Amino acid sequence: MIEPIGVERNSVVTSLGTMVYYSPTKAPWVDEKVPRGKEKLTLIFLHGFGGGSSAYEWSKVYPAFAWDYRILAPDLIGWGRSEHPERNYQHQDYIDTIIEFIEKTCEQPPIVIASSLVAAITIRAAIARPDLFQNLILSTPTGLSDFGEDYSKNFFAQMVSVPVLDKFIYSVGIANSAGIQNFLENRQFANPDLLFPEITEAYLESATQSNAEYAALSFVRGDLCFDLSKYISQLTTPTAILWGKEARFTTSEVGKRLAALNPDAIQLFQEIEGAGLTPHLELPAVTIGILCKFLAFFAKKTS
């Protein structure tokens, strides 16, 4: 996988296998001549789902916070360099392994920054274990079946539900340069001109890992989707949301409806003009600025 400079690779063992994660702990992020001061607060960056997803998704953003925070950016189970067990994945698998990852890597509750469907899954993890989360910062959190919509009924989801045909579709339509390019242009980016070759290369490398099709097809079939509106009112962790205004399948209006279900927990909501589903890939500098604003807001409230 393509990684930023100064990044160290580590791993932890979860109930579903080994999870690899990345931390910017080398130069220029560490300077032995500069006193560290108090222990750094941990920021965990969780990528979303899609053909070839991995921790690369946040790699243009998380180094900006490495001097002031301890950064952990994992490849979730079934993605990137993490283990790829042969199974039909369910959202509970990711609720459980996100909780396990935090338990094994953090002595104090971290701030978790997560994207799209994984952001919605992280909400459910925080509902299950509120003691493990200090704050949530979520980019376009959606269960993809919100307010009664049924993602699994769409044509493509039905096609990849057919055995044998599903793996053929993955190899021909997803796990190649054209498939990755099409996915990113039509699902994640509002402006295809910002889709640089490195991004496609990083997604393709992840998509072609051994057994990568299992998690990806579980996502495309809709096995990982759920109605977030049924859960979000149970959230107690202070939360901020950013939403790409040009997100094509999950509009900001849906985001506003979800946020309105729990105004006590969801304390900030920021749209980003000119961004799609992953503003942190498309407009990383803008995303960094918004994250700084959110972090300052939470720091002021806890000081």
Q: Residue 152's pLDDT is what?
A: 65
Look at residue 2 and tell me if it is in a domain: no
- Cβ pair 255, 241 in contact under 8 A: yes
Look at residue 210 and tell me if it is in a domain: yes
What does pLDDT average to over the chain?
A: 92
Look at residue 122 and tell me if it is in a domain: yes
- Alpha-carbon distance values, 146 to 68, 142, 265, 286 (Å): 36, 7, 19, 27
Look at residue 269 and tell me if it is in a domain: yes
Q: Residue 33's pLDDT is what?
A: 63
Look at residue 179 and tell me if it is in a domain: yes
Q: Which residues contact 63 (CB under 8 A, 6 or more apart)?
A: 4, 5, 6, 7, 24, 29, 71
Structurally, the chain folds into a number of domains equal to 1
Tell me which H or E stretch contains 240.
strand 239-244
Closest CA to 133 of 145, 124, 144: 124
Look at residue 1 and tell me if it is in a domain: no
Q: Residue 39's pLDDT is what?
A: 82
What's the Rg (C-alpha) of the chain? 18
Phi then psi for residue 265, to 5 deg, are -85, -40
Q: Residue 156's pLDDT is what?
A: 57
Q: How large is the greatest C-alpha to C-alpha distance in the chain, in angstroms? A: 59
Average pLDDT over residues 189-204: 95
User: How, if at all, do strands 239-244 and 70-74 pair?
Assistant: unpaired
Average pLDDT over residues 60-72: 96
The Cα–Cα gap between 113 and 147 comes to: 24
- Picking from 94-98, 157-161, 280-284, 292-296, which range would have the lowest pLDDT averaged per residue? 157-161
Domain ranges, residue 168: 7-302
For residue 84, pLDDT beyond 70: yes
pTM listed for this prediction: 0.95
Structure tokens of 27? 């130069």
Q: What is the CATH number of the domain that holds 132?
A: 3.40.50.1820
**Per-residue pLDDT reduced to its tens digit, 33-45:** 665 556 899 999 9
